[in-house]
Structure 1
Amino acid sequence: MEVSLLEWLVISSFALILFYFLSRKYHWSKQVLIALFLGINAIYLGWRAVYTLPTMNTISIIAGILLLLTELAGFLQSIVFSIISWKPFKRKHIPLSDFETLPTVDIYIATYNESEDLLKRTIAACTLIRYPKNLMSIYVCDDGRRASVRELCEEYDIGYIDRKDNSHAKAGNLNHALTKTNGEIVVTMDADMVPQANFLERTLGQFTDPEMVFVQAPQVFYNDDPFQYNLFFEDQITNEQDFFMRQLEQGKDRFNATMYVGSNALFRRTALEEVGGFATGVITEDMATGMLLQSDNRKTAFINETLAVGLSPETYADLLKQRDRLVPR
């Protein structure tokens, strides 16, 4: 019995919908969808290469080949994404008790012009992190050189670091702090990121491995982003950064390819010094720093737990401002 094209369309659509709902509970169903996605794309590209390349004249041939190469590049990117997403990866927790001697820790809170109310929350939360107080130091690295922020640091009995200029922006700010402190482990926190009391308990143990150079925890947000808020889907869709911060980072961790995302991260000071500190002269200093640290087979880790929460942009204007990495301050 022959099946018409319409019947094939109905059957395949029903199967895709079924696998989609099953994928919410069963990972094997996600793998089936990924395999179908790659298979259909491969068939399409084969058809494109054999039947659709133009042959009218030299210009059309060149243009057709360039377009096909662009589609092939997208397919290769899809393969990489599929490999990252194919198998869930959960890093094993290493408790602080595995250390023979607990390391000293410096926490840098980088700030420029954030409000003091926002900064105060982060400072207060950092002082509540569970770790021996004689081994942990907290510093506000203030590129705004504000007397009121210095007074806030005195109120909480923590360190205050400023500098004469703002060269190299945030990376320069952090590198300057490295010259003023000496903790074995360096933690970078954005001014709006509020760490939980167990932040070091859940992350620091990874440094029992002498080859571990940095550990990243995800950036998680306690308020709705503009998409969630304006679409009235606060409970139906996740924050627009969660896909990268949770799923992709977790998948990349399996291949020792964790990306440094600028905050909620811990570094071995000696490793930072070996690569010349936080990368300067680039737009995405965090990504560049992570890539430098991963050279020579050094190890990195991603801890997929909510260990610090921050403030997501509340308007589209703020969202664009946050994403604009090209304008120096």
Structure 2
Amino acid sequence: MRKTPASSGGLVPSPATGDGDRSDPGPGPGPALRHDHARFGTLAGPLNDPPRPGVLYRVRYRSTLSREGHRVRTGLLLAAAPLASLALLVWLVQPRHWAHREAVPPWAQVTDTALLVSLGLIELIRLIAVVSHAHATLVARDPVPVAPVPGTRVAFLTPFVPGRDSLEAVRATLEGAVRVRHDGPLDVWLLDEGDDPEARLLCERLGVRHFTRKGVERWNRPKGAFRVGTGHGNHNAWLDAHGADYAFTARVDPGHVPLPNFLERMLGYFRDPDIAFVVGPRVQGNHDTAVARAAEGHRFLFHALTQRAANRYGSAQFVGSGHVIRVSALREAGGLYAPVTGDLATGLDIHGRRNPATGRPWRSVHTPDVLAVGGGPSSWTGFFAEQLHRSRDAYGTIVRHSWKAPWKLRRPGRLFNHALTVAHYPMAAAGWILGGLSCVLFLGLGASGSAIDPSVWLTLYANAAAFRIALCLANRPRNVSPRRPKGSLGLAGMVMSALSAPVYVLSLLRAVLRRAPGSPAMPEGDPARPDRLAAFRVHLLWAAVFAGSLLASVPLGHTHAAMRAWASIALLITLAPLLAWRCSVLRRRVVVGLRAVRRARRTAPGRHRAPRRRTSARVAAARRHLVRR
């Protein structure tokens, strides 16, 4: 057990007040830490003085909207974006726009009704998404950090599953963990699922404590809290064995490197006795490929906006790059939940319980401070696998636990925010399915759900889409990633969100059919998983649906401009990942070929090039020439 008191000096200016706390990451493991983490590690502001003894501390918050310089413009946009989507929905479903065809077979009338309902549901989903976005923008807030209580006993945990997690990623995480500062007893633990000898040697070399449940029958069960071969079972076994020795546990996944101020910035919120856990944003460190850079932008809305909005209700989602949790709250909830429901269900269960000491509901905090930097998907295969895994967890939470939310969360605000958060994946999947169904019904079967002017429809649709994009752009100053280029509009993240919809559909179908995922979640950012054509099979299937609808519309004469534009955009979305992959492969081949040609020219026989003289020699020769003249 070690004690690492914070040393004086080295203050880093805060973006809010000019003061701050130390955020120097020290000698990090690689390029993941070569960015302005000092500033982004103090986005919530400087550490404030703790309350006076005897004064009950409650976490205070600052509205992000109140700190902006264009509040009036943002307020108008918050009102205009939902109203534009609502106007499109109301105009579309008016009875005078319903199609009434006479002398058509019954199946044609059924397709007309189905098309009308499909179009209405699509616009309703779009309206809910815009309302969710506007609501998060309006209520988002950051906590006011305070100095932690000295002397608290903390365990810093990192799970390790041999064969799934690489030892190099674990080494980087542990090297960062042993540099974390804490004014009190701190133990760094490696939770080794397989009792790997190399992992034991690494722990001995770094002074890290090693735990394994291998060979203990009561900690290795086929199902339940100690399910064998799972991360939650590994964590719960440690909690059962050593949890009572600590007041708090901090945790990051392998490959995520905690910064030295990880605990300094998180533990202070636990001065509030009703805070169960504190979570931070997930920031990706590897930006070596275009997919990795776009994947970072894809997470913007959740970590920079949705989680901040949850602070309004004290119910942040239990996800992110790292967290600190009160051991008593976690033990009361029975430990972590199984991976099918995962962290979302764990957070929901904790929020549904009360603190026995105070009788008040447990609350949570999301801090915008970047306190851990980790790996992420660098290929399309890794990105789609990550989205499949996360959407599967969301569907599992909805099916198994969200029906309990009205009784667990109780407060309307908490319930409303939880519903908007977990509805993201099913709404995206349903919108994509309804879009494909509408194209098939109209372009392929000739259905006519509504009799509207295509130009008017396109105009209203473009206005609603423009307001939604403007709302996304207005939130870019709330960025929490040090990797975002200055002046970036975040368009790559929007594109990646659209490209993920077919994957959400696949995950939804598996959840409905109660099928297990095709393969376990792969390590994020694993370079050993290159892209193959099979990674795009879901997108190619949907491309065939939209392409077939467009081709069928030509001989059948189903030439509605709006529906054709819709199908064309959807076809482009489904083919975009495949085209981007092939272009990147072609570019690499061209670069390798050009390098080989240049290398061959330099080493060709009979080709003797005079050695170049150094610049200083050329300058001296020029001077002698001028002197002679």
TM-score by length of 2: 0.44
2:314 partner amino acid: N
**1:106 Cα deviation (Å)?**
1.2
Number of the residue aligned with 1:217: 280
Equivalent position to 1:125, from 176, 200, 206:
176
Return the alpha-carbon distance in structure 2 between the equivalents of residues 58 and 153 of structure 1.
67
**1:59 Cα deviation (Å)?**
5.8
Return the alpha-carbon distance in structure 2 between the equivalents of residues 254 and 102 of structure 1.
30
Return the alpha-carbon distance in structure 2 between the equivalents of residues 140 and 230 of structure 1.
30
Q: Percent identity?
A: 22
Q: After alignment, is 50-59 or 86-95 more displaced?
A: 50-59
List per-residue Cα deviations over 1:94-139 (Å, max 9, x = no partner): 211xx3x632111110122322222112111111111145x21111
Greater relative contact order (Cα < 8 A, sep 6+): 1
Number of the residue aligned with 2:236: 175
1:259-298 to 2 correspondences below 5 Å: 259-261=317-319, 263-280=321-338, 282-296=339-353, 297-298=361-362
Return the alpha-carbon distance in structure 1 between the equivalents of residues 121 and 292 of structure 2.
39
Change (3 A) 1:86 1:60: same
Contact 1:225 1:313 in 2 (8 A): no
Number of the residue aligned with 1:254: 312
1:138 partner amino acid: V
Equivalent position to 2:264, from 201, 212, 223:
201
Return the alpha-carbon distance in structure 2 between the equivalents of residues 144 and 318 of structure 1.
24
2:160 matched to 1:102?
A: no
Change (3 A) 1:143 1:319: farther
Secondary structure, in 3 states, of the residue corresponding to 1:254?
helix
Secondary structure, in 3 states, of the residue corresponding to 1:265?
strand
2:379 matched to 1:315?
A: yes
1:80 partner amino acid: S
Change (3 A) 1:59 1:116: closer
Return the alpha-carbon distance in structure 1 between the equivalents of residues 364 and 372 of structure 2.
19
Contact 2:316 2:366 in 1 (8 A): yes
Equivalent position to 2:206, from 144, 151, 156:
156
**1:226 Cα deviation (Å)?**
4.1
Contact 1:55 1:61 in 2 (8 A): no
Change (3 A) 1:226 1:87: farther
Contact 1:224 1:239 in 2 (8 A): no
TM-score by length of 1: 0.81
Return the alpha-carbon distance in structure 1 between the equivalents of residues 201 and 88 of structure 2.
64
1:175 partner amino acid: N
Structure of greater Rg: 2
- C-alpha RMSD over aligned residues: 2.6
Number of the residue aligned with 1:68: 120
Return the alpha-carbon distance in structure 2 between the equivalents of residues 120 and 140 of structure 1.
10
Query: Structure 1 regions of 5+ residues with no counterpart?
Result: 1-23, 232-236
Contact 2:316 2:364 in 1 (8 A): yes
Number of the residue aligned with 1:35: 79
Number of the residue aligned with 1:91: 143
Contact 2:281 2:369 in 1 (8 A): yes
**1:70 Cα deviation (Å)?**
4.5
Return the alpha-carbon distance in structure 2 between the equivalents of residues 230 and 125 of structure 1.
23
Number of the residue aligned with 1:45: 89
Contact 1:227 1:240 in 2 (8 A): no
Return the alpha-carbon distance in structure 2 between the equivalents of residues 55 and 144 of structure 1.
67
Number of the residue aligned with 1:145: 195
Q: After alignment, is 118-127 or 62-71 more displaced?
A: 62-71
1:171 partner amino acid: H
Change (3 A) 1:122 1:269: same
Contact 1:226 1:313 in 2 (8 A): no
Change (3 A) 1:138 1:30: same
Secondary structure, in 3 states, of the residue corresponding to 1:181?
helix
Contact 2:280 2:320 in 1 (8 A): no
